[in-house]
Structure 1
Amino acid sequence: MWKLSLKVKENLLIRTGLIVIGNRAGLEADLGRNLFGQHIASDVIVKALTGFMNNGNPKKPLVLSFHGTTGTGKNLASQLIVKNIFEKGMDSPFVHFFNSVINFPYASQVETYKSQLQHWIRGNVTNCAHSMFIFDEMDAMHPVIIDGIKPFMEHQYKLDGVSYQKAIFIFLGNAGGEIITQTTLVSWKAGKKREELKLEDVETALSSSVFNYYGESNVVDFFIPFLPLERQHIVQCIMVEMVAMGLQPDHNKACEMADKIVVYIPDDERRISVSGCKRVASRVRHFMQ
């Protein structure tokens, strides 16, 4: 079980059902059922969250950086984490989601965005020490904004009288996706099974490729690679969508669709899906009409 060292206010939040004291098995099960083809990411996420939630006095906020090509499950993984910590999931008032393209669109206003975001983080962590902040489209986030939120993620006791040690920050982006894909293909061509790939096989190259996003600051605790999806994972995504449409899942039909609605690389091997499961839902619905 995850055990939280909570103050009176935090106990009240739990009693009112807004924060869940989750457990490792629950998160593992959710990731296993829903996050296809991501054994590395699933393992690191579970261990990172378990270690952090079991620590009654962490030295800094937990900062996770998810990397990989589109459609590999980064958003889904963040949602499953939220589900296992907050009773209301993504609707919880303690979960704050930002899309860099939508929320910070104009370079001419980055100083305003930076100031507003700092105020938002400070206010919400003051209200709930376990607040979670998720930033999507990290590749599009202006360096000024990144620099503005770095202090909240550093090692420190308090910043302007507020402790951020129990907060969680998650960044999602496509940066490093090419390196992750290349590493996966090289491993496959060498005759290794996908499941034999380990974090250390990707981590060094990945952290180097995304260095410019965070600069010299060591705020990120884990750079987590999301591997490109293979045909078998696309079939799984299609089966899930069939159920969502109220249809009886048909494996043969799913395999047929996986070959017709998805583009794979390399051209001669058709090994890896170019867009993962990103547009599978809409294409399945079109195909089934």
Structure 2
Amino acid sequence: MKPSRLYLSMYVFTTVSVLVSAFDPFTTTVLVGVGATLGRTIYNYLHESCDPQWISFNVTGLQVDLDKKLFGQHIASRIISKAVNGFMTNNNPKKPLVLSLHGWTGTGKNFISKLIAENIYKKGMQSSFVHVFTSTLHFPHQSQFLEYKSQLQQWIKGNVTNCERSMFIFDEMDKMHPGLIDSIKPYLDYYDNLEGVSYRKAIFVFLSNAGGDSIAQTALDFWRGGQSREEIKLKDLETLLSLSVFNNERSGFFRTSLIDKNLVDFFVPLLPLEYKHVVQCVMAEMEAKEKEPNQHVADMVAKDLIYFPKAERVFSVKGCKTIESKLDYYL
């Protein structure tokens, strides 16, 4: 029993003990029962649990966050909004929601995961039902491959058993050992349950830089052709992206059955960010720091970044990744 729960139980027990001393045995039994129920109610109110009080999808909140906080990602915004909304409002999904986000560093992959979590779980990314796996941290050694596969299966099974509305985020998929992610393939498939556990209400989000170059090249081709980035559609990137990560030997998705069996619901491309998007990031960061938005400072920070191609300086190489540290310098 955790300390907070122990102290709460002691408090309820003491309070009830004082009350019951003044009543007959029958009344005493009733009061003890009420006290125990009250204790559980108070504990559940204070301690996160797998129920609607702590897990409740805010469809409007997610849409507003995507519209106001995610810059330059019209394709990703639309996919995420529709996919998460459709999944969370379906009381009987046939399989877990599986999203694979791809793009250069700093384009918003982790940020999108954060927005999803914040609009489902009351505690957001701090929720005990949101689980983040980072390849270089949790699966660093090729020699322990078999051990990792077993651990990963146990972690997912244990957490979904604890709460069917669990969310799993796999960062640095491009650095994961090929074949490791296939160990959880059964949990992403169309099964009512596996060994008594249903995974159909869980969410799996994969984050990867793999495919980022293909996405950037497509965006650059549109720019050079005089077309707006908003004219880029999912169909222009989805097949190219899935084939790119499937055939990339350095990708955690290399030859994976997750792609071969079409278990990834959406491949979400994150476009490289242009100068104007970087400025928006800087302005948003100033607001987050409770500083007065300053266009001059935003321009200075944005101009300090490296852009690609070198001649045209169209896209920020690191997106908005280093904005926070650079802004501290200029402020």
Within 5 Å, give how 1:183-262 maps onto structure 2.
183-212=218-247, 213=253, 214-215=256-257, 216-259=260-303, 261-262=304-305
SS of residue matched to 1:195: helix
Query: Structure 1: any 5+ residue segments left out of the alignment?
Result: 1-11
Paired letter, 1:203:
E
For residue 50 of structure 2, what is the aligned residue in structure 1?
A: 13
For residue 263 of structure 1, what is the aligned residue in structure 2?
A: 306
Please identify the structure whose Cα radius of gyration is greater. 2
Q: How many Å separate the matches in 1 of 2:293 and 2:58?
A: 31
2:317 is aligned with 1:282 = no
The partner residue of 1:96 within 107, 124, 131 is 131
Q: How many Å separate the matches in 1 of 2:128 and 2:174?
A: 26
- CA deviation map 1:72-108 (0-9, x unaligned): 0000000000011111101111111111111111111
Paired letter, 2:95:
K
Residue 177 (structure 1) shift: 0.2
Q: How many Å separate the matches in 1 of 2:160 and 2:287?
A: 39
Q: Which has the higher contact order (CA 8 A, sep 6+)?
A: 1
The partner residue of 2:97 within 50, 62, 67 is 62
Q: How many Å separate the matches in 1 of 2:180 and 2:308?
A: 36
SS of residue matched to 1:14: coil
For residue 139 of structure 1, what is the aligned residue in structure 2?
A: 174
In structure 2, relative to structure 1, the CA distance for the partners of 1:162 and 1:204 (3 Å cut) is: same
Contact residue 62 and residue 169 of structure 1 kept, 8 A: yes
- Work out the percentage of aligned pairs sharing the same amino acid: 55
Residue 138 (structure 1) shift: 0.4
Paired letter, 1:250:
N
Residue 118 (structure 1) shift: 0.6
For residue 46 of structure 1, what is the aligned residue in structure 2?
A: 81
CA-atom RMSD in angstroms: 1.4
Query: Structure 2: any 5+ residue segments left out of the alignment?
Result: 1-48, 248-252
Paired letter, 2:94:
K
Paired letter, 2:57:
I
TM-score, normalising length: structure 1: 0.91
Contact residue 50 and residue 165 of structure 2 kept, 8 A: no
Contact residue 114 and residue 144 of structure 1 kept, 8 A: no
Contact residue 72 and residue 229 of structure 1 kept, 8 A: yes
Contact residue 135 and residue 172 of structure 2 kept, 8 A: yes
For residue 7 of structure 1, what is the aligned residue in structure 2?
A: none
SS of residue matched to 1:229: coil
Within 5 Å, give how 1:164-183 maps onto structure 2.
164-183=199-218
Residue 285 (structure 1) shift: 1.3
Q: How many Å separate the matches in 1 of 2:202 and 2:50?
A: 15
Q: How many Å separate the matches in 2 of 1:93 and 1:266?
A: 42
Contact residue 164 and residue 202 of structure 2 kept, 8 A: yes
For residue 105 of structure 1, what is the aligned residue in structure 2?
A: 140
- CA deviation map 1:18-58 (0-9, x unaligned): 211322x2111011111111110010001111111122211
Contact residue 297 and residue 330 of structure 2 kept, 8 A: no
For residue 3 of structure 1, what is the aligned residue in structure 2?
A: none
SS of residue matched to 1:13: coil
